[in-house]
Structure 1
């Protein structure tokens, strides 16, 4: 029988006074309202980028309403000239800059806005439509929506 050793190391990153006083971000049963379950959908959202509403943004972590809980950040995008089902991909660097937490299960991206929590809701219909399109193009079989 193999023995696996795990070690937890504590590192002091900064003093408590230097840490942002962000609200607690959590997900619960109320976040599952209007979610078609069970699902295996990607988290695909619409966001405003350079003053344009850009649909089909894939949230990569390893229909939202606009209210007072939104954040504007200047981030660097890498432009690629390749076919894709998505108009943009927000990965770990951008999610870190926004201090955002994504839950594919809840189909939501949450982020601090002052003392409140902003929410960006995923669009399951769009995620499924483009998954099916990709699966057909690649001749995939065995996917949940084939």
Structure 2
């Protein structure tokens, strides 16, 4: 496999003076899902409940996991369960597909999906924030690059700074050009409140991952 390196031309943003989060697009169930936050500090992959519904996934497709989780100040965040979904990462016509076990969380957020360490490790991804790019080996051994959408990254960040105002915008779930799956009408997704990042504090329960490993998922979390 070729070495993974980053060069100046890997930066595809519009503003080099940046400290933006890594926000990308992935494909799930034949939908292109934007506003996907790559969070190397998260030990779990999260699919938000509003996104789950807009993907038209059946409730029966998830494994129940309904223990609530709590923030530092006692805020309660509801979980609905978890689901295994094949997720596609694309550069042009080349793709890499991996199974991801998503925890389904009902929480106010600017994002549709949060990708944590389990999926990034399975993908073999290396993230460079200065280049706003993520690289990983393809099944054929080539190195693929996924670029951050800097405009959407800033839109999400600014939305999280205004918790007092309801934010109405499209959910950024679209059908890929080569998909034959019909897309429902584009919904408005009101997002109120601040983005949450979940970290375990005390009690945990095991959650099995598709690769055979397991993580201890906290039932008490800190924001």
TM-score (norm 2): 0.49
Match of 2:38 among 51, 55, 59: 59
After superposition, where does 1:124-135 map in structure 2 within 5 Å?
124-135=150-161
Corresponding residue SS for 1:41: coil
Corresponding residue SS for 1:79: strand
Change (3 A) 1:99 1:65: closer
Change (3 A) 1:138 1:42: farther
CA distance in 2, matches of 1:96, 1:33: 24
Answer yes or no: is the 8 Å Cα contact 1:35–1:107 preserved in 2: no
- Corresponding residue for residue 102 of structure 1: 127
Answer yes or no: is the 8 Å Cα contact 2:26–2:32 preserved in 1: yes
State how many pairs are aligned.
Answer: 116
Corresponding residue SS for 1:77: strand
Indicate the structure (1 or 2) with the bigger Cα radius of gyration. 1
After superposition, where does 1:26-37 map in structure 2 within 5 Å?
26-37=5-16
After superposition, what is the alpha-carbon deviation per residue over 1:82-107, rounded to whole angstroms, capped at 9, x for unaligned? 11111001111100000011111111
Alignment gaps of 5+ in structure 2: 42-89, 166-223
Where is the helix percentage greater, Structure 1 or Structure 2? 1
CA distance in 1, matches of 2:33, 2:13: 22
Answer yes or no: is the 8 Å Cα contact 2:13–2:132 preserved in 1: no
Alignment gaps of 5+ in structure 1: 1-21, 140-146
CA distance in 2, matches of 1:83, 1:33: 29
Answer yes or no: is the 8 Å Cα contact 1:60–1:89 preserved in 2: yes
CA distance in 2, matches of 1:132, 1:96: 29
Which consecutive segments of 4 or more residues in structure 1 shift more than 3 A? none
Higher mean Cα deviation, 88-97 or 29-38?
29-38
